[in-house]
């Protein structure tokens, strides 16, 4: 009987030693296991953040949601100069841009940039270059919207909402440090 108890104790100790090793089942880490003098730590690939449990990784991009905004106005058959003039003459206009149909789209704040035909990485780069950019919204249609407010503040703006749609990605600066 004593032999069985000692054997059980030995097995438990062995399991504890093995579980602190990255070589066995990646230490239980979902992505990256980093050997440390005192054991190991888990980390994640670029674009992911470590979950509270210290093992799993979460995509820091909010995929499948988009920010449903109301534009101030859309002026058809425009050029860049007339689009900028239209924005200057429109109360509340913060930014304007020509879309793929040569229509001038006018937006109020907190939008600080509108771009069309942009890749997700180009949209991320635009936001990274602007100190006041806090959130970006990118669609697979190439639309890039940059905001000077956090993602959490957007639904409280009158007439705006966050909706589900599989073709958009929202990224908030600071929550996705390896990306923004």
State how far the Cα of 11 lies from the Cα of 105, in Å rounded to an integer: 68
- Count H helices and E strands in the chain, helices first: 3, 12
In this structure, what are the phi and psi dihedrals at residue 156, rounded to the nearest 5 degrees? -85, -5
Dihedral sign computed on CA atoms, order 126, 128, 133, 135:
positive
The closest of 161, 117, 122, 164 to 140, measured between CA atoms, is 117
Pick 6 or 58 by higher pLDDT: 58
State how far the Cα of 109 lies from the Cα of 153, in Å rounded to an integer: 12
Q: Given pLDDT bands bounded at 50, 70 and 90, which one contains residue 2?
A: very low
What domains can be seen in the chain, in order of their start residue? 2-58 (2.10.25.10), 63-172 (3.50.4)
pLDDT digits (tens, 9 = 90+) for 94-123: 999 998 889 999 998 899 999 999 998 999
pTM exceeding 0.85: no
Q: What is the mean pLDDT of residues 48-70?
A: 80
Residue 165, token pair as written in the block:
């749609």
Q: What is the DSSP letter of 154?
A: G
> What percentage of the chain carries pLDDT values higher than 90?
38
In contact, 180 and 128? CB cutoff 8 Å: yes
Per-residue pLDDT at 62: 78
Q: What SS3 state is found at 69?
A: coil
The closest of 48, 50, 95, 47 to 73, measured between CA atoms, is 95
pLDDT digits (tens, 9 = 90+) for 3-17: 333 333 333 333 333
Q: What is the DSSP letter of 2?
A: H
The closest of 117, 118, 115, 110 to 172, measured between CA atoms, is 110
Mean pLDDT taken over the chain: 81
Confidence check: pLDDT of 169 > 90: no
94 CB contacts (<8 Å, ≥6 apart)? 87, 107, 108, 109, 110, 111, 112
């Amino acid at each position: 009987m004593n032999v069985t108890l000692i054997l059980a104790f030995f097995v438990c100790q062995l399991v504890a030693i093995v579980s602190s090793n990255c070589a066995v089942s990646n230490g239980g880490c979902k992505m990256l296991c980093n050997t440390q003098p005192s054991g190991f730590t888990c980390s994640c690939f670029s674009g992911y953040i470590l979950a509270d449990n210290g093992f799993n990784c979460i995509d820091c991009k909010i995929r499948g949601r988009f920010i449903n905004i109301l534009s101030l106005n859309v002026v058809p058959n425009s050029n860049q100069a007339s689009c900028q003039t239209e924005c200057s003459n429109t109360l509340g206009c913060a930014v304007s841009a020509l879309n793929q149909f040569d229509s001038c789209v006018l937006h109020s704040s907190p939008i600080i940039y509108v771009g069309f035909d942009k890749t997700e990485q180009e949209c991320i780069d635009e936001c990274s270059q602007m100190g006041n950019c806090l959130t970006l919204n990118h669609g697979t249609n190439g639309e890039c919207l940059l905001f000077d407010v956090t993602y959490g503040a957007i639904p409280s703006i009158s007439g705006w909402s966050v909706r589900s749609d599989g073709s958009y990605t929202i990224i908030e600066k600071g929550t996705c440090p390896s990306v923004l």
